[in-house]
Amino acid sequence: MKSRCRFGGLSLTFALALASCNGTGTSVSPPSAGVPTSPARLGLDPAIVPLPEIITSPGAIDGSDNRFTPVDGDTPSGGQGSVIDHKIPCLLSMGNGYHIHVFLGIVYQGQLISVPDAVGMVNPGPEDAGYINTAQCFYEIHTHDASGIVHLEVAQVHPVDSVVFKLKNVLDVWGVPHSKKSFGPFKGKIRVYVGMPASLGQTTVSQYYPFTGTQWTNMGLHSHEVIWVEIGKPYFNAHQLPPVRFYMEY
């Protein structure tokens, strides 16, 4: 069975308002004025290498791939066919009543790490130009490639700017272990930044704010939201994280 993905071409756009708190557990704060530019004053390693703009595309590999165990798909404690978080089933095919995408960027000690292919797929099929589109069943949260794009799909119709899932649901389907000082195999204090577009379509998100809530995994997920999870020094600050260009409409 195949899961369908929208690659743009739609004429409708929807406005998403940036706010200091979106009402779903994602609390962010705007950057302060007069941000210093000296790496030393920022507490950064002067030799830190800036990350290039992320231009997502089907089958892309954004970051260093195959760094998690397993290298593709879910961990044994993640989605293996049973319902996850009491509400996320593994289905034979995907409905398109609600179909949005978020970008999850993992940065370990200044290096971008790819989110695995086939998260949220049981017994995934072979890659076709880096894109996996067949599996025994699909969770409503899944990845097709290592581009960092996470697909959120349910059959029921919801407004595109509504919150159906939280980041915790993504991590639980994946089964990746995480804490305040680790993520998967990577050790270090966690810092999280969030960005959302002013409008949808094939857009670029480039403005990020630090997550300041009590639990970063409880943030609600919106269409074309960008989430950066940094583990360990050296850290990028919000204005140093790269833009992310979405190739799909929602």
Q: Report domain extents, the chain.
A: 54-245
Rounded mean pLDDT, 31-42: 39
- Look at residue 5 and tell me whether its pLDDT is greater than 80: no
Sorting pLDDT into bands at 50, 70 and 90, what band is 48? confident
Chain segment 156-191, per-residue pLDDT in tens: 999 988 999 999 999 999 999 999 999 999 999 999
- Look at residue 24 and tell me whether its pLDDT is greater than 80: no
- Look at residue 231 and tell me whether its pLDDT is greater than 80: yes
Phi first, then psi: give them for residue 218, nearest 5 degrees. -90, 5
Written as one string, the DSSP assignment of 35-101 is ----TTTTT--TTPPPPPPEE--TT-B-SB-S-SSSSSS--TTS-SSS-BTTTB-EESS---SEEEE
- Across the chain, what does the average pLDDT equal? 85
Res 18: pLDDT? 34
